[in-house]
Amino acid sequence: MLERLRDSYQKFFSLSEFLPSENARILFFIALAYQMFLFATFVGDDAGTVQAYQSNVYTCWPFFQQCGEWYFLNLKQYGYSQTALYGFLFILQTVALFAAIRGRWLAAHGIFLLTWLWEAFFLLVLSYEAGEAYSYLHLLLSAVLLFAACKEWTARALVVFLYVLGGVTEFYRAYILDGLPKDMPLIPAGVELWFVHGAFALQWIGVWYLLSKDARYRRGVLSVFVAFHVYAGVVFEQYYMLLIVPILPALFWFDVPAKKPSGTYIWRMAIICLGLLMMHAWIIFALHSRSFTFARPHLGIATYFPATSGVSLATVRYEDGTEKVIKGAWQNRPCRCSPYTRWFELKALCRGEPPIREIFWSLDLSFAHEPLHRVIETANVCALDFSIFQTNDWIQK
């Protein structure tokens, strides 16, 4: 019975691909190492903790606005549940690492599946702001390693597809909304636009050479991509460089994977990608005209194109007659500028102590370096609700 279960598990998750494919094994080690680093950043952070819920310093996803009621972890000064959980997960990750080194892929895969499920649950359900931008790339690549057949081929296709989506987004923001950056750190004055145009061309055209059978083209483009990501990581100090820079050579430096998918598998993946691309295009073009610059939150869909800056001003009036002014200003912080995020944080105050009579709130946003635009002006945040797919009339167009 156990033999049949083990064989079924190995066949269902295509574990046999790890044995002949050195690239797949390298990808597994990279994904596991980054997850260990990611979990280390969660320890000591109040995201997803009881203290964040009690202090109203948390944000839930729009589809699960009661996430704070599910928090069960405590910061170290209030208990050891958070450190104990991630200590246990670190032990599991270490066991998975040694199992993979020894070639015991059944154990390594099973343990990594458990830690990945917690990562997905924490980032996609419990916390809206815990993950960095490329934490979601890690989720997708790990899902490919865990669930996909033809893992190496699928991972290559996924990375190229994500670059294409990113290129479409940047094209819209840069050339239609005139959001080209005016200065670039470490880039000589006068060549910034050439640098930006080259980066866009790399995403739109050069990315396809990553799939070339000719190693010269593939490695040449790969080197440019790696250099660009190192530059971005140095300038913006983002964690993603720790993930994307090792992954790109592991995927594209070596020859095209020997195991290629069947025609049925390719068609299935093409249909999935086409569906995602159509949804992506719908979000961009169907919902984003001049009058819809801030319309996605107006329609209840989370902001897709981030505002470049924002100013939020809230006046909290308590039942005892006292007032408190909460002002925030952000530059290049899309999550903090989003109408939903600011609404959620202020709405959470309404259930706190001392009792609040009303919260007057105004929010001005700028997108693509345009002048600030009044998006929200309401006399009482406590009376407002946010709907995911229905019109939120209190958010102005």
CA 142 to CA 138: how far, in whole Å?
A: 6
Query: How buried is 262 (Cβ within 10 angstroms: 0-12 exposed, 13-18 middle, 19+ buried)?
Result: exposed
Average confidence (pLDDT) over 70-94: 93
Summarize pLDDT for 210-224 with one digit per residue, the tens.
888 888 889 998 998
pLDDT at 366 over 90: no
Query: What is the crossing angle of helices 151-171 and 135-147, to 10°?
Result: 150
Q: What pTM was computed for the model?
A: 0.82
pLDDT at 177 over 90: no
**What is residue 379's predicted lDDT score, i.e. its pLDDT?**
86
Q: Are 14 and 151 in contact, with CB atoms under 8 Å apart? A: yes
Q: How confident is the model at residue 301 (pLDDT cuts 50, 70, 90)?
A: very low
Summarize pLDDT for 261-274 with one digit per residue, the tens.
676 777 677 777 67
Q: Break the chain into its structural domains and give their ranges.
A: 13-294, 308-383
Summarize pLDDT for 306-358 with one digit per residue, the tens.
455 778 888 989 888 888 888 877 655 444 557 788 888 888 888 777 788 88
Can you read off the two tokens belonging to residue 47?
A: 């995201």
Residue 194: C-alpha distances to residues 104, 187, 188, 200, 302 (Å): 49, 10, 11, 10, 32
128-132, 219-223, 249-253: which has the minimum mean pLDDT? 128-132
pLDDT at 75 over 70: yes
**What is residue 350's predicted lDDT score, i.e. its pLDDT?**
84
Task: Please give the mean pLDDT across all residues of the chain.
Answer: 79
**What is residue 104's predicted lDDT score, i.e. its pLDDT?**
92
Q: What is the CA radius of gyration of the chain?
A: 23
pLDDT at 385 over 60: yes
Average confidence (pLDDT) over 179-204: 71
Average confidence (pLDDT) over 76-93: 93
Q: How confident is the model at residue 259 (pLDDT cuts 50, 70, 90)?
A: low
The full length of the chain comes to: 397
**What is residue 285's predicted lDDT score, i.e. its pLDDT?**
44
CA 172 to CA 345: how far, in whole Å?
A: 30
Q: In this prediction, what percent of the chain has a pLDDT beyond 70?
A: 78
Q: Starting from the edge strand earliest in sequence, which strands make up the sheet with 323-331, in order?
A: 323-331, 309-318, 356-366, 373-378
CA angle, 363 as apex, 336 and 350 as ends, to 5°?
80
pLDDT at 372 over 90: no
The residue among 52, 130, 126, 118 whose CA lies nearest residue 85 is 118
The verdict on whether omega for the bond into residue 181 sits within 30 degrees of 0, i.e. cis, is no
pLDDT at 21 over 50: yes
Q: How confident is the model at residue 288 (pLDDT cuts 50, 70, 90)?
A: very low
Comparing 83 with 150, which gets the higher pLDDT? 83
**What is residue 122's predicted lDDT score, i.e. its pLDDT?**
94
CB atoms within 10 A of CB 336: 19
Comparing 170 with 290, which gets the higher pLDDT? 170
**What is residue 84's predicted lDDT score, i.e. its pLDDT?**
95
CA 372 to CA 68: how far, in whole Å?
A: 32
